[in-house]
A and B are shown apart, each in its own frame.
Chain A
């Protein structure tokens, strides 16, 4: 049983707010993948255990 009786009615503005919460739009800005050289996993794979680059390339 409800312990308190009440008569509440939302204002039009509150109804609009409710609608907005019920029907949320998708994210306005996309955060889709872009070029990120530092995140390129394959670069890392090459860097691990790869020989140090000689100071003077010997033309090989």
Chain B
């Protein structure tokens, strides 16, 4: 099996586990056990890196207590796959830093922020005339649409409500439903932040999922979007740090 399919499969499996925890049916994620039990340890760690900030969603949205061994696993994932100062993809640096921020906060260990430093100012982030290209980048940054995160990417999202709405519509019309749902997640986050939207993210999300939703990672984007859509605007994260 190629590392691409191994990593993708592992990411899907981890997403299923996170989904279970989010929905309250699967019990806590238990990252340490997940990696221990995995036949391919490197793939399991890759899965943690791929999902990034999303592994914390049951804690942020559901209030599941964050365990020390979970923090250790995430740190190990960064040991195996160190954050790059100059990654191939601009989105990667932002995703990694978001993971690091949440890891430090939830574990109560501020030194963990250094596993992925804040990326330098990114001109590509500013909403631009090329709204469709910008939306491709924002879709890659979907895990940042999470409770308790804020920064340049979120500023860009706030300034780009119209572009994101256009992006959702475009992706649905192109029948690219995973991208559509990633962008809908941003709209759901924005609505939770109090933004007024030119389209209804709930209807768009349901449509995209019914017509073309496949795979646990896309299901996870939808589930997190739904959490934002169902909560009262301004609701803070349920789990903010270990006591």
Contacts and interface: CB of A to CB of B under 8 A. Distances in A.
Interface of A: 1-4, 6-10, 13-27, 30-33
A27 B90 CA distance: 19
Interface of B: 3-4, 7-8, 11, 32, 35-36, 41-42, 45-46, 49-50, 52, 69, 72-73, 76, 79-81, 84, 87-92, 95, 136, 139-140, 171, 173-176, 178-179
B7 A18 contact: yes
A22 B4 contact: no
A19 B52 CA distance: 12
B168 to A, nearest CB: 12
Contacts, number: 94
Most buried by B among A1, A3, A26: A26
B173 A21 contact: no
- Nearest first, the 3 closest Cβ-Cβ pairs linking A and B are A23-B89, A27-B176, A31-B175
Most buried by A among B7, B84, B95: B7
Given A2-B69, A8-B41, A21-B50, A26 B171 contact: yes
